[in-house]
Amino acid sequence: MPISKRIAENINRSSWIRKMFETGIILKKQYGTENVYDFSLGNPDLPSPARFDNILLKEAGKSGAFVHGYMPNAGYPETRTAIAEMLSRDSGLPFTDQNIVMTCGAAGAINVFLKSVLDSGDEVVIIAPYFVEYDFYIENHRGVKIVSDANDELLPDLDDLERKIGKKTKVLIINTPNNPSGRVYPEKLLHDLGALLQRKNNEYGRAIYLLADEPYKKIIFDGNSYISPLLFYRNTILATSFSKDLSLAGERIGFLAVSPLIEDGKDIINAATFCNRILGFINANALMQRVVKQVLDAGVDVGVYQQRRDLLYQTLVGIGYDVIKPEGTFYMFPRSPIPDDVAFVKALQDKLILTTPGSGFHRPGHFRIAFCVSEDVIRRALKGFEETFQQFA
């Protein structure tokens, strides 16, 4: 075999999200794009804010020496300073540019951080359901995955985490607002989680890092706002991107932020800057760094996503689906009417509706709907959702 055995195995068990997306391409060719209802991929469909577009055009028009050249591997100091000032305003913590590394999206940030802190055999705890690429990110850097199952409300189960966090645990990854469930961790949960991690630190005599993957933090509904885990636990690191709140998924721009309260934070930043280089990222996109520093307070119209959520949620509940109403993101994670979520997703596919089985997120018995599609697509798909449900009722 010409390729690595490990990579061959990983390709075999790779993301259901991508599998369904690729199935969609085939079905669209066969039946026409307008007749296929594709809820498989979290690819934001709202246009980027006009302010972003205007600044992008201005920055793209610049020319001269080094306009598109290298900068420090951590990113432009002025961009990192702007982000640090934003985080300081939001958290009250004394962030500076020395706490920030610009990265190729949140995925780049997570990989850079794990590469920086993991030794072979260190454990990384993740909470199911979770974004399945975490599996590969942990494996990339010689870590050992430990899965803690969320409770019936699709929120972290602190009792289970108490059992799963052990003497080999180096990192706990959380994702709020959550993909795939749309759940947003409430303040009390974050407080109790911080207290649990601090007890574990004291017990084992070393830091356990809380890595918060938060690219959806601005996509929160019903007038609520994001509550940062920075406020509840000193050893917190943020990995985020502008992919969702500015609809820049393809531009691959994000950042890693290390809490200024972390005792060895400078070492982590130095390691992350080095890893940004040796992982082949070198630096985050120069043009995007220059643009995003000027639009940190901008965002897409979250009200559009909320309107879609309400339409989909109310209709699915009316049909009989069991679903927790998402507080954020553009995902919904209903229970499958039958235990075999893969079979149910295939039945939806017969109606040309593409969703992703919960098994792909390590939570069988559910399926994910990505409602970052037009309201017209949602409305035209509703009949198929109802007919498929009735098929198994």
8 A C-beta contact, residue 173 and residue 213: yes
Residue 138 CA to residue 144 CA, distance in Å, equals 7
pTM above 0.75, yes or no: yes
Give yes or no: residues 329 and 268 share one domain.
Answer: no
Give yes or no: residues 90 and 133 share one domain.
Answer: yes
Q: Which residue's entry shows tokens 């649990």?
A: 196
Domain boundary among 266, 292, 318: 292
8 A C-beta contact, residue 363 and residue 175: no
Domain boundary among 242, 271, 292: 292
Give yes or no: residues 190 and 275 share one domain.
Answer: yes
Give yes or no: residues 269 and 148 share one domain.
Answer: yes
Give yes or no: residues 24 and 75 share one domain.
Answer: no
Domain boundary among 243, 273, 292: 292
The CATH number of whichever domain residue 360 belongs to comes to 3.90.1150.10
| Amino acid (1-letter code) at residue 340 | D
| Residue 45: Cβ-neighbour burial (10 angstroms; 0-12, 13-18, 19+) | middle
Sign for the pseudo-dihedral over CA of 234, 119, 115, 4? negative
Write the CA distances from 370 to 45, 310, 330, 346, 354, integer angstroms: 11, 13, 6, 16, 9
8 A C-beta contact, residue 255 and residue 212: no
Q: Which residue's entry shows tokens 């369904």?
A: 20
CA dihedral 131, 374, 155, 235 (to 10 degrees): 60
Residue 292 CA to residue 231 CA, distance in Å, equals 25
Give yes or no: residues 148 and 191 share one domain.
Answer: yes
Other C-beta atoms closer than 10 Å to the C-beta of 55 total 18
pLDDT tens across 70-127, in order?
999 999 999 999 999 999 999 999 999 999 999 999 999 999 999 999 999 999 999 9
* Low pLDDT (below 50) residues in the chain: none
The per-residue pLDDT for 4 is 83
- How many C-alpha atoms does 329 have within 13 Å on its Cβ side? 25
In the chain the first and final C-alpha atoms are separated, in Å, by: 47
The per-residue pLDDT for 238 is 98
Q: Which residues contact 292 (CB under 8 A, 6 or more apart)?
A: 79, 242, 246, 253
Across the beta sheet with 367-370, the strand order is 331-332, 367-370, 356-357
Give yes or no: residues 60 and 16 share one domain.
Answer: no
Q: Give the largest Cα separation in the chain, rounded.
A: 66
Give yes or no: residues 30 and 66 share one domain.
Answer: no
Give yes or no: residues 248 and 286 share one domain.
Answer: yes
The per-residue pLDDT for 14 is 67
Give yes or no: residues 105 and 155 share one domain.
Answer: yes
- How many C-alpha atoms does 346 have within 13 Å on its Cβ side? 6
Write the CA distances from 100 to 17, 238, 275, 281, integer angstroms: 30, 10, 14, 16
* Structural domains counted in the chain: 2
8 A C-beta contact, residue 116 and residue 262: no
Nearest to 80 by CA among 278, 218, 254, 244: 254
Residue 36 CA to residue 30 CA, distance in Å, equals 10
8 A C-beta contact, residue 220 and residue 302: yes
Q: Does residue 236 sit in helix, strand or coil?
A: strand
pLDDT tens across 150-181, in order?
999 999 999 999 999 999 999 999 999 999 99
Give yes or no: residues 235 and 365 share one domain.
Answer: no
Give yes or no: residues 288 and 313 share one domain.
Answer: no
Residue 81 CA to residue 37 CA, distance in Å, equals 43
The CATH number of whichever domain residue 88 belongs to comes to 3.40.640.10
Which domain covers residue 158, as residue numbers? 51-292
